[in-house]
Structure 1
Amino acid sequence: MRFLMKSSMAVCALFLSLGAVVAAEGDDAAKKQEMLEKKFEKQMSGATLVGHFTVDGKSNGKPPREERYEIASVKKLEGDQWLITARIKYGQNDVNVPMPLNVFWAGDTPVISLTNLTIPGLGSAFTSRVMFFEGRYAGTWQHGKVGGNLWGRIEYADQKPETAEEK
């Protein structure tokens, strides 16, 4: 009987200590995620995405088109919702647009996800998935039946652009 009581107490103590370890790991993961989110918010506010995009089936041997998105601000709202205000040049349009978007995380990598978003002055049904990592971005885009790929580098607000001699 004593053996069973001691064994039961040992098992209970083991489960309690495992629960404390799991809770501590959960707290560490939440702190790490919060740090990643603050870093993303700080780095992307004032950043410029400089790169290229393609239109599926329209290359005709031409190089990809250039694109440039100036990010005025990035702010986490609630859950996966973020407010990203960007200057968007698209066709003849040049507008600053606050957009509520989802940002999901693949480990330490943020991925912007928008589905059938209406952008005032530009239209509706914009869908995109764009990931950001190590000063670069890459993803896919869709506007109605037209879509393609996009990629480039991120120029951060506290970083001066490279001159031709530095490249």
Structure 2
Amino acid sequence: MLRLIAVISLMCFSGLTVNADESTPTESSNDVRGQQLASYLSGKKFVGRFTVDGSTKFDPKVEEYVISNCEKMPADDMYRLKARIKYGNVDQEVPLEIKILFAGETPVITLDSMWIPGMGTFDARVLIRRDRYSGTWQHDAKGGHLFGMLEVAEADEDEDEE
């Protein structure tokens, strides 16, 4: 009887160990996921609107971001983007090295007091899911929400008026 309990215990614990190992993402699966995300974001246009906290009326402003190129960097969760940012009077192309974390399988663009040349310092959390994006942003004392759709950018869209 003791032998049977020992065998059953061994089988149960062996099964738990195997399952734990199978559910833990490996470095190579993270590399694949990172490369897939970089490929997905390259050539994408984020088209949407943003709000400003404290505004007396709900009047979302238009915004547009075109990512002409995205590549996974060697450092964990880091990506290099070539992006054209358009909102208000801003229309500028900038290189960005940003952190993109994952909440499960959902990528979350993560800016922590990031200085963007010619624009200022920003904090943001923007999640991407099924060709939609939404999140929060902060620029100095102003902040708010942003949301919109992801589209395939035209090949020369980030080179307009050059």
TM-score range, shorter chain: 0.7 to 0.9
Task: Return the letter of the residue paired with 1:44.
Answer: L
Pairwise CA distance, 1:97? 1.2
Rounded to whole Å, the distance in 1 between the matches of 2:12 and 2:51 is 57
What's 2:139 paired with?
Answer: 143
Normalised to the residue count of structure 2, the TM-score between the two structures is 0.78
Alignment of 1:1-167 (within 5 A): 15-16=13-14, 18-26=16-24, 33-58=30-55, 60-61=56-57, 63-77=59-73, 78-123=75-120, 125-157=121-153
TM-score by length of 1: 0.76
| Residue identity matched to 1:40 | L
Structure 1 residue 37: Cα displacement? 2.8
Give the Cα separation in 2 of the matches to 1:146 and 1:43: 30
Contact 2:61 2:88 in 1 (8 A): no
Structure 1 residue 9, shift from structure 2 partner: 7.2
Query: CA shift at 1:66, angstroms?
Result: 0.6
Q: Secondary structure at the match of 2:23?
A: helix
Aligned-pair CA distance for 1:33: 4.3
Q: Which residue of 2 aligns with 1:161?
A: none
Partners of 1:79 and 1:149 in 2: CA distance: 27
Equivalent-residue separation in structure 2 for 1:33 and 1:47 (angstroms): 22
State the Cα RMSD in Å: 2.8
Unpaired runs of 5+ residues, structure 1, are 159-167
Native 8 Å contact 2:136 2:145 kept in 1 = yes
Counterparts of 2:87 and 2:63, CA distance in 1: 9
Q: Distance in 1 between matches of 2:4 and 2:138?
A: 64
C-alpha displacement of 1:63: 2.7
- Structure with the greater alpha carbon radius of gyration: 1
Cα distance, 1:83 vs structure 2: 1.4
Mapped to 1, the partners of 2:30 and 2:104 lie a distance apart of 9
SS of the residue 2:76 aligns to: coil
Call closer, same or farther: CA 1:14–1:104 in 2, change over 3 Å: same
Counterparts of 1:148 and 1:25, CA distance in 2: 37
Percent identical pairs in the alignment equals 35
- Tell me if the contact between 1:90 and 1:122 (Cα under 8 Å) persists in the aligned partners: no
- Paired residue total: 154
Q: CA deviation at 1:142?
A: 0.5
Cα drift, residue 8 of structure 1: 5.9
Unmatched runs of 5 consecutive residues or more in structure 2: 155-162
| Aligned amino acid, residue 107 of structure 2 | P
